[in-house]
């Protein structure tokens, strides 16, 4: 690695790649360093690769020119140098941490042992292209797969594995699927979608351990003592921000690396963006905020912050979208608070036959949350109303128009 670069970005995921590309467009040289073997890719689309719908190269991100492979292991803040696992180092004026998240590995009996620190054969996280290719290589029709976790990741993985012909059981600890984003009726539609595709879903079901023979998984053990035979296990139990580098360097870290409105950490020469960053108490763990933070930081570093971003980063109000694609895809969008408080207006449309459900929550004259499943015609208009945080029009139109008028989306 050369040592005369001034902006150094660690992490070639969604946030790091977007930042490096924008900086290149703005004429600011930056070095991007990533530790994954693969060409940078769009992580959000990994389930499509697992389902066999896209080849890995289809989800590649347009790569910036100055991309280097390496794993940053230490930041020397006094010397302003970042050190890499291969012994090399690189000097920076500004260092940007875009190190993303790690999967949560649940404390399951049998997952690790004193003599084995790798996951047993057949057990995979679902975060990286390597995870995805590992799973993809192991899945074949009839394979017994158990997905642990029924959030966005677990639901996507279960759907993709079922599409590849696996016999899939999804074990969700809480009472419904995707509880962070969806309300009970919307979760019920996702459950029905999975069941229609042959996925067996168990809610309120806690997995206690895994049993391995000869280093390979054989079964999954539930808290009630029930045992499920398994050839393949996917751990989809959430993520936590990857903050080790920042922590070791003595930066302020809570859940994520704490940043201000200029995405500056407690060291003014180090910024952080994406899943690893915590802004105004929030760690988003979603693509849209990671990309918005990258855009804002590019403007700040280039000194060309566009109107509207001049004040820095003020938080992201973006919808979470997920498509469970297949012959009949199921589209989902969720934002804000889908559960009303007393006094809120709730507008809801459900069509059990078509499997659609739409709901928005309005407080005073503002849209505060919503869920759309199966019918996303109004998503553009709702996204604009939500993201702009504007008062809703008071022209006498019934609030139902929020769900029936697509507003040109
Ligand atoms: C299967 C899947 C589906 C998802 N679906 C959705 C979705 O539908 N909607 C949504 O909004 N979000 C979704 N997400 C979340 C979304 O992918 C993340 O929010 C987004 O990728 C965050 O971008 P990032 O750049 O901060 O982190 P990442 O994309 O994780 O990139 C971080 C990169 O930094 C590298 N790195 C870390 N430490 C070092 C180091 N020390 N040295 C060098 N490199 C390092 C990592 O290897 C990684 O390549 C999904 C995630 C997964 C895994």
Q: Whose CA is nearest to atom 29 of ligand 1?
A: 13
State how many domains the chain has.
Answer: 3
Query: How many Å lie between the centroid of ligand 1 and the Cα of residue 98?
Result: 9
The residue whose C-alpha atom lies closest to atom 35 belonging to ligand 1 is: 11
- Residue 408: predicted pLDDT: 43
C-alpha of residue 349 to centroid of ligand 1, in Å:
34
Q: In this predicted model, what pLDDT tens digit does every residue of 126-181 receive, in sequence order?
A: 999 999 999 999 999 999 999 999 999 999 999 999 999 999 999 999 999 998 88
| 201 in the same domain as 54 | no
Nearest CA to ligand 1 atom 12: 286
Ligand 1 pocket, residue 71 CB under 6 Å: yes
Say if ligand 1 is within 6 A of residue 13 CB.
yes
278 in contact with ligand 1, CB cutoff 6 A:
no
Encode 355-392: b = buried (16+ Cβ within 10 Å), e = exposed.
bbbbbbbbeeeebbbbbbbbbbbbbebbbebbeeeeeb
Query: Above 60 in pLDDT, residue 220?
Result: yes
Task: Indicate whether 247 and 325 sit together in one domain.
Answer: no
Closest ligand 1 atom to residue 288 Cα is 11
Is the shortest distance between the CB of 193 and ligand 1 below 6 Å? no
Q: Is the CB of 17 under 6 A from ligand 1?
A: no
Structure token pair of residue 230: 């398994």
> How far, in whole angstroms, is CA 280 from its chain's centroid?
19
CA Rg value for the chain: 22
pLDDT reported for residue 113: 73
Report the range of poorest mean pLDDT among 193-197, 202-206, 395-399.
395-399
CA of 101 to the centre of ligand 1 (A): 6
390 or 1: which leads in pLDDT = 390
pLDDT for 4: 39
Output the pLDDT for position 397. Answer: 61
- 293-305 pLDDT per residue, tens: 999 999 999 986 5
Task: Report yes or no on 312 lying in a domain.
Answer: no
Distance 228 CA to ligand 1 centre (A): 31
Report yes or no on 143 lying in a domain. yes
The string of pLDDT tens digits covering residues 399-408 is 666 777 654 4
| Residues of the domain holding 184 | 105-237
Does residue 3 carry a pLDDT above 50? Answer: no
Residues 223 and 335 in one domain: no
CB 12 near ligand 1, within 6 Å: yes
Q: Which residues pair with 121 in a beta bridge?
A: 216
Instruction: Please work out whether the CB of residue 50 comes within 6 Å of at least one atom of ligand 1.
Output: no
* pLDDT given at position 65: 72
The tens digit of pLDDT for each residue in 226-255 reads 999 999 999 999 999 999 999 999 999 999
What's the pLDDT score for residue 5? 44
Give distance in angstroms: CA of 325 to centre of ligand 1. Answer: 21
- Provide CB contacts within 8 A for 318, sequence distance 6+: 286, 288, 289, 292, 335, 383, 387
Write down the pLDDT at residue 337: 85
User: pLDDT grade, residue 326 (50/70/90)?
Assistant: low
Q: Cα separations (Å) of 269 from 248, 265, 335, 380?
A: 16, 8, 34, 38
| pLDDT digit string, tens, across residues 250-306 | 999 999 999 999 999 999 999 999 999 999 999 999 999 999 999 999 999 998 655
Q: For residue 23, what are the CA distances in angstroms to 9, 88, 298, 305?
A: 11, 24, 6, 12
Q: For 169-183, what is each residue's pLDDT tens digit? A: 999 999 999 988 899
> Domain end: 237, 254, 287, which one?
237
Q: Is the CB of 285 under 6 A from ligand 1?
A: yes
List the CATH number of the domain containing 204: 3.50.50.60
Q: Ligand 1, closest atom to CA 322?
A: 8
Mutate-to-test residue for ligand 1 from 40, 43, 321, highest number of ligand atoms within 8 A of CB: 43
Which of 4-18, 315-329, 335-349, 391-405 is the least confident region? 391-405
Position 409 pLDDT exceeds 70: no
Is 198 part of a structural domain of the chain?
yes
pLDDT in tens, 73-108: 999 999 999 999 999 999 999 999 999 999 999 999
- Across all residues in the chain, what is the average pLDDT? 89
- Calculate how far, in angstroms, residue 214's C-alpha sits from the geometric centre of ligand 1: 32
pLDDT classification of 2: cutoffs 50, 70, 90: very low
Q: How far apart are CA 340 and CA 345, in angstroms?
A: 8
Interstrand relation of 270-272 and 94-97 (parallel, antiparallel or unpaired): parallel
Q: Are residues 190 and 118 located together in one domain of the fold?
A: yes
Q: Are residues 68 and 109 in the same domain?
A: no
Q: What pLDDT score was predicted for residue 385? A: 81
Using the atom order of ligand 1, give the atom closest to the CA of residue 132.
1
Question: Over the stretch 339-391, which tens digit does the pLDDT of each residue have?
Answer: 899 999 898 888 888 888 999 999 888 888 899 998 888 888 888 888 777 77
Mark whether 228 and 114 lie in a shared domain. Answer: yes
pLDDT at position 308 is 46
| pLDDT above 60 for 22 | yes
Domain harbouring 369, CATH code: 3.30.390.30
Query: What percent of the chain lies above the pLDDT cut of 90?
Result: 68
Query: Could you identify the atom of ligand 1 that is nearest to the CA of residue 273?
Result: 26
- Is residue 1, in this structure, part of any structural domain at all? no
| 366 CA → ligand 1 middle, Å | 32
Query: Looking at ligand 1, which residue's alpha carbon is closest to its atom 38?
Result: 99
pLDDT value at residue 307: 45
94 and 11 inside one domain: yes
What was the pLDDT predicted at 13? 96
Domain final residue pick, 274, 302, 330: 302
- 44 and 162 share one domain: no
Instruction: With cut-offs at 50, 70 and 90, classify the pLDDT of residue 118.
Output: confident
Let me know: does 303 contact 289? Beta carbons within 8 Å.
no
Residue 311 lies in a domain: no
* Percent of the chain's residues with pLDDT above 70: 92
Domain boundary among the residues 302, 336, 351 is at 302
């Amino acid at each position: 690695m050369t040592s005369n670069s001034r902006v150094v970005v660690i992490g070639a995921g969604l946030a790091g790649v977007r930042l490096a590309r924008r900086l290149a467009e703005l004429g600011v040289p930056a070095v991007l360093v990533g530790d994954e073997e693969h060409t940078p890719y769009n992580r959000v689309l990994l389930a499509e690769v697992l389902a066999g719908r896209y080849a890995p190269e289809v989800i590649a991100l347009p790569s910036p020119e100055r991309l280097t492979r390496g794993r940053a292991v230490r930041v020397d803040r006094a010397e302003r140098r970042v050190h890499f696992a291969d012994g090399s180092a690189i000097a920076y004026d500004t260092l940007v941490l875009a190190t993303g998240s790690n999967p949560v590995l649940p404390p399951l009996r049998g997952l690790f042992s004193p003599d084995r620190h790798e996951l047993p054969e057949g057990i995979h996280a679902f975060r990286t292209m390597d995870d995805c290719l590992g799973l993809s290589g192991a899945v074949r029709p009839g394979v017994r797969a158990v997905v642990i976790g029924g959030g966005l990741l677990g639901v996507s993985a279960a759907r993709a594995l079922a599409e590849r012909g696996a016999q899939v059981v999804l074990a969700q600890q809480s009472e419904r699927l995707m509880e962070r984003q969806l309300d009970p009726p919307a979760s019920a539609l996702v459950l029905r979608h999975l069941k229609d595709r042959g996925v067996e879903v168990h809610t309120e079901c806690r997995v206690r351990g895994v049993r391995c023979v000869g280093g390979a998984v054989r079964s999954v053990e539930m808290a009630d003592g029930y045992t499920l035979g398994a050839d393949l296990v996917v751990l989809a139990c959430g993520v936590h921000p990857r903050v080790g580098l920042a922590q070791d360097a003595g930066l302020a870290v809570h859940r994520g690396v704490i940043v201000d409105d200029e995405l500056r950490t407690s060291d003014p020469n180090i910024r952080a963006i994406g899943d690893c960053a915590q802004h105004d108490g929030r760690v988003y763990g979603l693509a849209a905020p990671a990309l918005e933070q990258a855009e804002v930081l590019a403007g700040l570093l280039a000194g060309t912050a566009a109107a509207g971003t001049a004040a820095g980063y003020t938080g992201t109000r973006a919808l979470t979208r997920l498509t469970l694609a297949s012959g009949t895809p199921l589209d989902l969008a969720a934002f804000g608070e889908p559960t009303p408080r007393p006094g809120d207006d709730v507008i809801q449309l459900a069509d059990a036959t078509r499997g659609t459900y739409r709901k928005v929550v309005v407080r005073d004259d503002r849209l505060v949350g919503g869920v759309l499943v199966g019918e996303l015609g109004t998503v553009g208009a709702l996204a604009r109303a939500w993201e702009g945080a504007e008062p809703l029009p008071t022209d006498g139109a019934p609030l139902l128009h929020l769900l029936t008028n697509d507003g040109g989306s």
